[in-house]
Amino acid sequence: MNYISSDLKVVGTRPIRPDGVDKVTGRAIFAADTRASGMLWGKILRSPHAHARIVSIDTSKAEALKGVYAVVTSKDFPEIASEEAFVGEGPMNFRDLSDNIMARGKALYEGHAIAAVAATTAAIADEALALIDVTYEVLPHVIDVDEAMQPGAPVLHADMFTAGVNPKPATPSNIAKVVTFKKGDIDAGFAEADVIFEDSYTTKPVHQAYIEPHACLATYAPDGQVTIHASSQGHFMIRAYTAKLLGIDMAQIRVNPAEIGGGFGGKTLIYLEPVAVALSRKSGKSVKMQMTREEVFRGSGPTSGASVTVKLGAKKDGTIVAAQQVLKFQAGAYAGSPIGPGCMCGFAMYDIPNIDVLGYDVVSNRPKVAAYRAPGAPISSFAVECAVDDLARKLGIDPLVIREKNAAVNGTKTHYGPTHSNIGFTQVLEATRAHPHWKAPLKEGHGRGLAVGFWFNIGGESSATVHINEDGTVMVATGSPDIGGSRASMGMMAAEVLGIPVSKVKAIVADTASIGFTFLTGGSRVTFATGMAVTQATEKVVDQLKARAAATWDIPVDAVEWKDGKAYPAGTNAGAFEPLDLAAIALKQGRTGGPINAEVSVNAQGAGAGFGAHICDVAVDKETGKVDIIRYTAIQDVGKAIHPSYVEGQIQGGAAQGIGWALSEEYIYNAKGQMDNPGFLDYRCPVASDLPMIEAVLVEVPNPRHPFGARGVGEVPIVPPMAAISNAIKGAIGLRMPDLPMSPPKIRAAVDAAG
Amino acid sequence: MPKVVLSSGSASLAFTGGVTEFEVEATSFRRLILELDKRFPGLGTQVEESMAVAIDGEIFQDAYSAELRPGSEIVLIPKIGGG
Amino acid sequence: MSKSHVTTTINGEAAEFLCETQQTLLDVLRDVVGLTGAKEGCASGDCGACSVLIDGTLVCSCLVLGVEAEGKSITTIEGIAQGDHLHPIQQKFLEHAALQCGFCTPGLIVATKALLDENPNPTETEARYWLAGNLCRCTGYDKVIRAVMDAAAVMRGETV
């Protein structure tokens, strides 16, 4: 059933979220807050070298230390054959994943896990780490993506032969794969262009920088039952990966989803849980592990740094006739950067007849890349949106006009295959043109930038259960960890379908033993896919409620209708019965046929793509190089905002992360390949005084594939900010900053170079 | 007959020996996978396990139950994750 | 090494605990006293997730030793509400949806209380600079600042 044109009473309002009071009083339990009686503290020894052969590991002194109960190395994990599987947020090679959580043979980045201990206190565990003797043979390292691609660069994997190249190369390299996407005839396109613009851009690795470090509590009981409390974007993913990496049946593992303190894609991989389980198995006690902030930076999954070139050809009137892009992405220590989406997203919002995109997935001696909000798209769009902006300047055309002129519409065939349908990009551009920010007068010395963005959004597998309690209140359980307020939306959708106040509905996140399989929280999929499961389960419950009313009145079930929380006889012919409300039916559910509930599992297809446009005003201090964001407006097609406050929150949060990516965040490596800034002081995320209010404008072009029209919203907003800011800086000081971050030293250097 | 299109440079080209476009007799996605494996051994499995498809313009991460019309165009694309 | 015995007041109640000299107040609160509301985000005083008040002064409890609590009065997030009566700051954070994952929320609320105790009528800029020591990665601070300004108005009696 579809409620897109319905008169909605709950969906679209802003109730207080069900987990809110716990979170503002400090009662909410995150993984680091969990305890078990007699638990040990687990700590990981990490490689200080960016690239080294592990010659030997001597753990004997650590094992002998009083208070140490277990020490593990890669010997304690089964060897896994190279195997590609799509289990999680990207193609996953389990051999690589196993190697990443505990190095086997080689340390491939500074921070790579080498060994782990479990001891009675964290202090003793730290002492034990210092007693582990590791003999390394330090090897030359390479981090920068262009350098890693050079012949003669240190090669990380002797068995890496570039895929996607014909014939297959004879010698190994750091280029894991090459991908291309083409549309039309690029040479013909450039030949007919009146004006051509091209430029090169670079970005540095940045971290998702969730404030909560990775943490878990694991217990391996004597009978082989494993219990894990983890803060993760996917407890089913944790179960699957732990089972795979340790060779345990999934039924033996129960993962409880603790509250999660931010993820943004960085917690869709696994780092600690298999190690904690291995330590628990060896020690016979529960093991608690939490990363320090330094470990998070050095040992989890920052996104790619990249090198991108863009070449555009256009007619004098602004029609873009040719678009070419080459992207080189760091994958980190193992193959698997988001090069595919990077190649697909940059031009996805334009209708261009001739497109040629080439992408390289390149390994280098830095942590394995993990997903980060619209993986690949922010980097790709930074380059494209700066280039479109400069092309517009070259043509003497307004930046909004050039987007309007070349905008993708329903029916536009993308360069990666699908044809856009049910998209809202035109409406987003209309809202941009109509917005007061676009017309507001600009102060002297300030600059204004515009950039647009796209993300596919995904659906996938979700399960939901809806139960009617004996008093007529309702439980909604799903398998989706709540990272942004989704529990509120789940409860609201169920309340809407039942026609009852949302205060009567309680939404929870159930553990892996208590709900059907649910794919992880990410890809902007929960409101879409899990919401679909919740809605369908609630509809099944409504069918049962109608059936019970029909039985009570002894009339056919199709003579009953359900409205506003009550069963009514449908029309006067059905009989003059008083309506039966949910509580009345619930009270008798045992007698009338048994408990009323429904579980639905879906593999939701048809996720609606999201488009956004950001307008940014900046002031640039040419003396200090500091850029101040004066005004920021983020306009996005959200389909249907189930809970508008949390939709706005996603947009504001994504924009803020993009602003940090643009102006101050970067991994800084020393000559030895070690990170110089693994802390929040020198890895500079935006703070409250860096930002103005961020106005989020919700455009609603419903996605007909979701019962309420919702589209995913969380990822699109991180795509436009970097280019919007570079475009604004160009407007303010007349200089293009093509390298991220556009930090004060870089701005000063550019100002000085310009004379 | 439905037409299958591979983007050039895709790892799937290794299975087709460089062929980027071909027709396949199938009315359902399930049949398509079987036919792909018959024609280019391993390609069907590759598509099923690690690729998404766009059928007549619409992206399916899992197209198991999708139906194909006589003129359907099926484009093989990388699976899309998220963050 | 033997532990120190510390006598202190936590959230208005007399408290005592044993701790190692090198244990931070944050670790003591979480692992010894059992108050897990204050969070470890960085352990280096850069993120504010561990914010508590000591004799009314805002501090990062990861930069304070447990033994320094001797004779002082500590306020944590658990002491902000009065029984089941939420503080206006907490109420406004909920109404404005000023939290998403909620991890930085305890620190932000304690820091906001310190702000409004000192300056009941801050400007938006003053609020932003005061809270610059509390990192939030989810919200972009917009709704947080709105909640703070609204809570300030409630506490001044100008609105409900």
Task: Looking at the complex, report in whole angstroms how far the Cα of residue A524 sits from the nearest Cα belonging to chain B.
Answer: 7
Radius of gyration of chain B (CA): 12
Task: Looking at the complex, report in whole angstroms how far the Cα of residue B61 sits from the nearest Cα belonging to chain A.
Answer: 7
Q: Is the pLDDT of residue A416 over 80?
A: yes
Q: Is the pLDDT of residue C1 over 70?
A: no
Please state the domain count of chain B.
Answer: 1
Nearest Cα residue to A189 out of A308, A310, A311: A311
Task: Please give the helix or strand (H or E) that residue A394 lies within, else none.
Answer: helix A377-395
Task: Please give the helix or strand (H or E) that residue A490 lies within, else none.
Answer: helix A486-498
Both C123 and C68 in a single domain? no
Both C62 and C93 in a single domain? no
- What Å distances lie between residue C85 and A335, A699, C91, CA to CA? 53, 38, 9
Query: A530: which chain B residues are within 8 Å (Cβ-Cβ)?
Result: none
Q: Is the pLDDT of residue A130 over 60?
A: yes
Nearest CB to A605 within list B60, B75, B81: B60
Mean predicted confidence (pLDDT) in A173-197 = 96
Nearest Cα residue to A679 out of C44, C75, B46, C17: C44
Mean predicted confidence (pLDDT) in C70-96 = 97
Give φ, ψ of A393 to 5 degrees.
-60, -40
Q: Is the pLDDT of residue A92 over 80?
A: no
Would an 8 Å CB–CB cutoff place A260 in contact with chain B?
no
Residue A693 CA to its chain's centroid (Å)? 23
Q: Is residue C83 part of a domain?
A: no
- What Å distances lie between residue A195 and A186, A318, A319, A404, A469, CA to CA? 15, 9, 10, 18, 68
CB of C113 closer than 8 Å to CB of C105: no
pLDDT in tens, A219-245: 999 999 999 999 999 999 999 999 999
Query: A20-28+459-604 and A306-457+608-754: same fold?
Result: yes
Provide the CATH number for the domain around residue C115. Answer: 1.10.150.120
Query: C1: which chain A residues are within 8 Å (Cβ-Cβ)?
Result: none
Both C123 and C146 in a single domain? yes
Look up the domain containing B35 and give its range. Answer: 3-78
Residue A570 CA to its chain's centroid (Å)? 46
Per-residue confidence (pLDDT) for residue A88, from 0 to 100:
46
State the DSSP string of C2-63: PPEEEEEEETTEEEEEEE-TT-BHHHIIIIII----S--S-SSSSS-TTEEEETTEEEEGGG
Q: How large a percentage of chain A has pLDDT more than 70?
A: 99
Look up the domain containing C67 and give its range. Answer: 4-78
Q: How far apart are the first and last CA of chain B?
A: 37
pLDDT in tens, A643-670: 999 999 999 999 999 999 999 999 999 9
Both C43 and C71 in a single domain? yes
Task: Give the integer Cα–Cα distance in Å for B77 and B59.
Answer: 9
Please, what is the average pLDDT of chain B? 84
Q: Is residue B33 part of a domain?
A: yes
Both C42 and C74 in a single domain? yes
Task: Looking at the complex, report in whole angstroms how far the Cα of residue A86 sits from the nearest Cα belonging to chain B.
Answer: 6
- Alpha helix (H) ranges present in A20-152? 20-25, 60-64, 94-101, 122-130, 145-149
Q: Is the pLDDT of residue B18 over 80?
A: no
CB of A667 closer than 8 Å to CB of A207: yes
pLDDT in tens, C100-130: 999 999 999 999 999 999 999 999 999 999 9
Q: Please, which contacts does A573-581 make with residues 24 or more away whose CB atoms are closer than 8 Å? A: A577/A553, A580/A549, A580/A552, A581/A472
Which residues lie below 8 Å from residue A441, measured CB to CB, with a gap of 6+? none
Task: Give the integer Cα–Cα distance in Å for A730 and A446.
Answer: 10
Mean predicted confidence (pLDDT) in A147-165 = 95
Task: Give the integer Cα–Cα distance in Å for C135 and C25.
Answer: 20
Q: Is residue B51 part of a domain?
A: yes
Grade residue B59 by pLDDT with cuts at 50, 70 and 90.
Answer: confident
State the DSSP string of B18-58: T--EEE---SBHHHHHHHHHHHSTTHHHHHHHHEEEEETTE
Please state the domain count of chain C.
Answer: 2
Provide the CATH number for the domain around residue C70. Answer: 3.10.20.30
CATH of domain A306-457+608-754: 3.30.365.10
**Residue with the two structure tokens 């993300």:** A455
CATH of domain A34-139+212-261+267-299: 3.90.1170.50
Nearest Cα residue to A649 out of C41, C151, C141: C141
Task: Give the integer Cα–Cα distance in Å for A480 and A486.
Answer: 8
Both C69 and C92 in a single domain? no
Domain boundary (C32, C50, C78) is at C78
Q: Is the pLDDT of residue B82 over 90?
A: no
Count Cβ atoms within 10 A of the Cβ of residue A591 and give its class: 0-12 exposed, 13-18 middle, 19 or more buried: exposed
Among C80, C95, C103, the strongest candidate for a mutation testing the A interface, having the largest count of A CBs within 10 A, is: C103
Q: Is residue C160 part of a domain?
A: no
Q: Is the pTM of this model over 0.95?
A: yes
Task: Verify A-B touch: 3 or more CB pairs within 8 A.
Answer: yes
Q: Which of residues 374-433 of A touch B (CB under 8 A)?
A: 374-375, 413, 416-421
Grade residue A706 by pLDDT with cuts at 50, 70 and 90.
Answer: very high
Task: Verify C-B touch: 3 or more CB pairs within 8 A.
Answer: no
Would an 8 Å CB–CB cutoff place A126 in contact with chain C?
no
Would an 8 Å CB–CB cutoff place C94 in contact with chain A?
yes
pLDDT in tens, A46-90: 999 999 999 999 999 999 999 999 999 999 999 987 765 555 445
Mean predicted confidence (pLDDT) in A449-473 = 96
Mean predicted confidence (pLDDT) in A637-644 = 97
**Interchain CB distance below 8 Å, A525 and B82:** yes
Does ipTM top 0.90? yes
CATH architecture of A20-28+459-604: 2-Layer Sandwich (3.30)
The domain limits of chain A are: 20-28+459-604, 34-139+212-261+267-299, 306-457+608-754
Both C65 and C114 in a single domain? no
Task: Give the integer Cα–Cα distance in Å for A736 and A393.
Answer: 12
| DSSP helix/strand/coil, A434 | helix
Contacts of B among chains (3+ CB pairs under 8 A): A
Q: Is the pLDDT of residue A480 over 90?
A: yes
Nearest CB to C49 within list A211, A643, A679: A211
Q: Is residue C135 part of a domain?
A: yes
Per-residue confidence (pLDDT) for residue A83, from 0 to 100:
66
Task: Looking at the complex, report in whole angstroms how far the Cα of residue A514 sits from the nearest Cα belonging to chain C.
Answer: 23
Task: Looking at the complex, report in whole angstroms how far the Cα of residue A35 sits from the nearest Cα belonging to chain C.
Answer: 9
Please, what is the average pLDDT of chain C? 97
The 3 state secondary structure assigned to B50-65 is HEEEEECCEEECCCCC
Per-residue confidence (pLDDT) for residue A261, from 0 to 100:
97
What are the E-state strand segments in A638-710? 694-699
Both C49 and C107 in a single domain? no
**Interchain CB distance below 8 Å, A21 and C94:** yes
Q: Is the pLDDT of residue A353 over 90?
A: yes
Q: Pick the residue from chain A with its C-alpha nearest to B63.
A: A605
Please, what is the average pLDDT of chain A? 96
Please give the single-letter amino acid code of residue A108: L
Nearest CB to A26 within list C37, C93, C127: C37
Would an 8 Å CB–CB cutoff place A509 in contact with chain C?
no
Higher pLDDT, B22 or A68: A68
Domain boundary (C78, C108, C131) is at C78
Mean predicted confidence (pLDDT) in A495-510 = 97
Query: B14: which chain A residues are within 8 Å (Cβ-Cβ)?
Result: 163, 166
Structure tokens at A411: 């029916």
Provide the CATH number for the domain around residue B66. Answer: 3.10.20.30
Per-residue confidence (pLDDT) for residue B60, from 0 to 100:
84
Mean predicted confidence (pLDDT) in C87-96 = 98
Per-residue confidence (pLDDT) for residue A91, from 0 to 100:
58
Between vectors from CA A491 to CA A489 and to CA A494, what angle results, nearest 5°? 110
Grade residue B63 by pLDDT with cuts at 50, 70 and 90.
Answer: confident
Mean predicted confidence (pLDDT) in A112-140 = 98
Nearest Cα residue to A23 out of C55, C29, C136: C136
Grade residue B10 by pLDDT with cuts at 50, 70 and 90.
Answer: low
Q: Is residue C73 part of a domain?
A: yes
**Interchain CB distance below 8 Å, B80 and A163:** no
Would an 8 Å CB–CB cutoff place C75 in contact with chain A?
no
Per-residue confidence (pLDDT) for residue C2, from 0 to 100:
84
pLDDT in tens, A305-324: 999 999 999 999 999 999 99
Task: Looking at the complex, report in whole angstroms how far the Cα of residue A20 sits from the nearest Cα belonging to chain B.
Answer: 24
